[in-house]
Chain A
Amino acid sequence: MEEILEILEKNSRISDEEIALMLNMDADEVRSIREKLEKENIILAYNTIINWEKTKKETVTALIEVKVTPQRGQGFDKVAERIYKFPEVKSCYLMSGDFDLTVIVEGKSMKEVALFVAQKLAPLESVLSTSTHFVLKKYKAEGTIFEEKEQDDREAVIL
Chain B
Amino acid sequence: MLLEVGEQLVKADQRGHADDLSQFEHVRRKHIGRYFAAAVVLVMALWIIRAFAHGQIEWSVSWQYLTARTVLFGLGNTVLLAVLAMLLGIVLGVIVAIMRFSASPIINWAALAYVWLFRGVPSLLQLLLWFNLALVFPTIGIPGLFEWRTVDLMTPFFAALLGLGINQGAYTSEVVRAGLLSVEDGQYEAASAIGMHRLQALRRIILPQAMRVILPPIGNEFIGMVKWTSLASVIQFSEVMYASESIYYVNNRVIELLFVAAFWYLIVVTVLSFLQGRLERYFARGAGRASQSR
- Real complex partners, A and B? no
- Interface positions of A (Cβ within 8 A of B): none
- Interface positions of B (Cβ within 8 A of A): none
